[in-house]
A and B are shown apart, each in its own frame.
Chain A
Amino acid sequence: MSEVAAKAPTRARRRRLMSRLVPYLLLQALIVIATVLGLRLLQPSDPDDFAVNDFSLREDGATRTVTLPHFTSSRYSLADPPLYSGAFTFQSGDPGWSVFLPRFSNAVEVAVNGVVVLDSRRDANANRPDRNTPQIAPIPSSLLRDGSNQITVRLFVWGPLKGFLDAVYVGPDANLRPAYETRTLLFVTLPVVFSAWQSILAVILAIMWLMRRHEPVYGVLAAAMLLGVVQAFLPAPVPPAASSRLAAVLLASAPIESALIVVFALMFFGWRWPRYATLLFVPGVVVFVVGLLGGPPLPRILFLVLGIPTVGICLLLMAGITAAQVVRRRDAASFTLGCAVTIVLTCWIHDMLSVFEIMPNERIFLSRLSYSAMLVAIGAGLTWRFARALNQVDSFAGQLVTRVREAEERLKASFVREEERARAAALANERTRLMRDLHDGLGGQLVSIVALSERGHEGATITNAARAALKDLRLVIDSMDDIGGDLMLALGSWRERAAMQLRPHDIVLDWRVATPQGLPLHPELRPWHVIQIVRVLDEAVTNAVKHAEARHITVTIETLDDGQGDGQADGHGPYGVISVADDGGGFAQTGNGEAVSAGQTARGLRNMKSRAARCGAALDLSSGTSGTCVRLQLPQRFPDSDAAAD
């Protein structure tokens, strides 16, 4: 089951791949046909009326009759170059005759009636076997005779291919020159234009690579293009003149160049680097090293044996890579590159057929030209891709800005929501606290007033209850104010209220602040702490008024720091102490006499202790004949939550 299940997708996948590959291959075949047809159509036409085809060739001591175009038998003939002798007819009166040689290799020396009119070795362009440079030379009219004239062509051959001489044209310059111009344009000017273009692209790509080292694809292509430019602009040496070995090997660097192009393709398509891919560089390096060590003519020979096949292999690899890429990705870049490779490959095969004299044509080499065109196309494509990437970056940046703004707004909104929620929660907490505080004090006092009024009480009792209620209301309001953790500010208001309360009883309130700063600051101090503390103090004062019959009440405020937490203080540091002392008889004695009052006092004391405990303070009460002292020791840190509240 599982095997079938595993095979089924494989088969489906293969079918899908085939369904993509076949149309692609068909299209490439069409491109090959179109290329061949195009080459045929674009082949420059020569003025056949003036062709001189029949020559007698003296080569290696033997003389025979040949018809041009003709291949020599040797690859190297500098000492005794083959000599082609022919004849043409001149009618006097025709102005300005010229001799036109569309294609030869490697160099020619043309003489008319024994006088040399053209030596192509002087033209650097003409010395390159890979460039199909034509030559034209005017024949001085003094040389020409009416009727038959003799023309001799000496063909210098220095490899790596066999010598070749295309038809020779002799005739009026006006008739020959258009053909010459066309060939010059195609085979001299156009390569130079391509090479110049290529060099500019090489610079641009090199800069891109320098700025973006993590994308070596640009660097590889720049190197390949640079090699091509060097080959295009280095002057080809003409034996027997000595030339530098470096120049010779650089001229034979095409295999390295083509290997670089394969590397570029691999990188461009993001393929994994195959281990054996380095082998591609071996032929090029061999040509380079051996050529450098051995000197001419080794580079040329090695180039022929190793270089050209390597270029072919590279082209085939490229075709394979692009085809695989087209099948896999079906993207425009690989498709375009694949078509370009097919065209170059076709041109290369065309050249090979020409080299091996299988195709009896005029030995016009097209690989270089088509290859340059392809490189330029690649460069343009890369630049286009780069520009598109920039656009994407721009739009991405724009999107990012928008997103960030959106996120910011969302965040702001949620922050506002959160803030509102927090505010609402704080408000609710505050409301709960306020309700509890009002219930503890004001509520009870108002109820007490109602009860007193209903029982027909008059005057003082109701007045006192109402005053207590108002005092408590003021306490609640006062404690809501932000005092910034300074309990002294709350005690200041309390002093006023307490003094007002004591004045009718003729009790003097002594206020002693023992330490200059009063009490330590408590940033964690909350209104409910303040209320509890002030209520404890109120209770202490009220007790002194009611039960102790005091004349003086002394409130002492001080900050102590004994270095060790006393009681429930959880740490070291200063803590505040507030004591309320009176000079009354002490409640213990009074309590012995009045049972009810003792019960009330006990309840009041319990109340005070529980209030103190709620905000982490400790309450001590000492009472004797000399008076009562309530000592409230504040914590070093007030608790966050109302722990003792129930």
Chain B
Amino acid sequence: MTEQGETGETITILLVEDDAPTCWRLQDALVKAGYEVRTAGTLGEARRALGEAAPRVLLTDLRLPDGHGIELIRETRRRLPDTEIMVISALGDEESVISAITVGATGYLLKDAFPTDIATTVRDLVAGHSPISASIARFIVRRTQGTAQGSAEPPPGPVLNTAKLTPREIDILWGIAKGFSYAEIASHLGLSRQTVPGHIKNIYRKLEVHTRGEAVFEAVQQGLIKL
């Protein structure tokens, strides 16, 4: 079967998921939407698949039989910067999603999402619209508050550096966290509706920690590590 994207070019997706029924479900939804989907059940298979050809989109579960999806995301982000990465999550909980974001993932896909939603999400991702959920936005803005208060011990959960975010970006995140749509946020903040996705993409890039050394540097800057 050959699948064509809306623009005519074939969009390839690498789907990494160890649970077979879930994998089929997602694969079906994506294939029906016209994407070319390859699947991998383990970290090793995924690496081999990535070595053969670079996909346009990588969708990966985090808990894999032979390793953690975080490693896969980090490697892919470094080797294939043009590949969009998204996490597949059963619950969409901040703990796993935020750590994936810090290594280069953009948002998450719920495993039980409706097929149309799955296709829409991937289409938006490829179009450059990075989706961000209210709960993730909430987690990030709560973290900016935490660092602003200068609390003695770092808050629980994954380490997240929010220092680079601009006040405008934080305002946008507040809007998303409170359930406002992009249009509502744009009108509240006096922005054009089209610029909001760009801001969100920037937010994702700013939350990413590129190297281990940089991570340590950031942590020291943030006072999370005391030398």
By a CB distance below 8 angstroms, the chain B residues around A494 are 179
Docked Cα-Cα span, A491 to B175, in Å, equals 12
- Nearest-neighbour CB distance to chain B for A128, whole angstroms, equals 80
Q: A492-B134, A492-B138 are in contact. Are A477 and B91 (CB under 8 A)?
A: yes
User: Do A481 and B179 touch across chains, with their CB atoms under 8 A apart?
Assistant: no
User: Do B181 and A488 touch across chains, with their CB atoms under 8 A apart?
Assistant: no
Write the chain A residue with the least CB distance to B114.
A504
Counting CB contacts under 8 A, is A144 at the interface? no
User: Do A481 and B138 touch across chains, with their CB atoms under 8 A apart?
Assistant: yes
User: Contact check: which of A481, A492, A500 meets B176 at CB < 8 Å?
Assistant: A492
Counting CB contacts under 8 A, is A513 at the interface? yes
User: Do A500 and B113 touch across chains, with their CB atoms under 8 A apart?
Assistant: yes
Counting CB contacts under 8 A, is A388 at the interface? no
User: Do A489 and B138 touch across chains, with their CB atoms under 8 A apart?
Assistant: yes
Counting CB contacts under 8 A, is A620 at the interface? no
- Nearest-neighbour CB distance to chain B for A65, whole angstroms, equals 109
- Nearest-neighbour CB distance to chain A for B146, whole angstroms, equals 10
User: Do A470 and B112 touch across chains, with their CB atoms under 8 A apart?
Assistant: yes
Docked Cα-Cα span, A482 to B76, in Å, equals 33
Docked Cα-Cα span, A503 to B113, in Å, equals 11
User: Contact check: which of B94, B112, B178, B181 meets A481 at CB < 8 Å?
Assistant: B94
Q: For chain A, residues 462 to 521, give those with C-beta under 8 angstroms from any C-beta of chain B.
A: 466-467, 470, 473-474, 477-478, 481-484, 486, 488-489, 491-496, 500, 503-504, 511, 513, 518
Q: How many chain A residues touch the partner (CB < 8 A)?
A: 26
- Nearest-neighbour CB distance to chain B for A438, whole angstroms, equals 13
User: Do B93 and A491 touch across chains, with their CB atoms under 8 A apart?
Assistant: no
Counting CB contacts under 8 A, is B166 at the interface? no
A interface footprint on B125-152 (CB within 8 Å = 1, 0 otherwise): 0000000011101110010010000000
User: Do B178 and A474 touch across chains, with their CB atoms under 8 A apart?
Assistant: no
Most buried by A among B133, B134, B176: B134
By a CB distance below 8 angstroms, the chain A residues around B41 are none
User: Do B114 and A481 touch across chains, with their CB atoms under 8 A apart?
Assistant: no
User: Contact check: which of A483, A513, A518 meets B138 at CB < 8 Å?
Assistant: A483
Docked Cα-Cα span, A219 to B116, in Å, equals 101
User: Do B113 and A481 touch across chains, with their CB atoms under 8 A apart?
Assistant: no
User: Do B114 and A500 touch across chains, with their CB atoms under 8 A apart?
Assistant: yes
Counting CB contacts under 8 A, is B72 at the interface? no
Write the chain A residue with the least CB distance to B176.
A492
By a CB distance below 8 angstroms, the chain B residues around A488 are 177-179
Q: A481-B142, A500-B117, A511-B184 are in contact. List 8 more A-B contacts (CB 8 A).
A: A477-B93, A492-B134, A492-B176, A492-B179, A492-B180, A493-B134, A496-B133, A513-B184
The 9 closest A-B pairs by CB, nearest first: A492-B179, A492-B134, A495-B179, A488-B178, A493-B134, A493-B135, A492-B178, A489-B138, A492-B177
10 A–B contact pairs at CB < 8 A? A470-B112, A473-B91, A474-B91, A486-B178, A492-B178, A492-B180, A493-B135, A493-B179, A494-B179, A503-B116
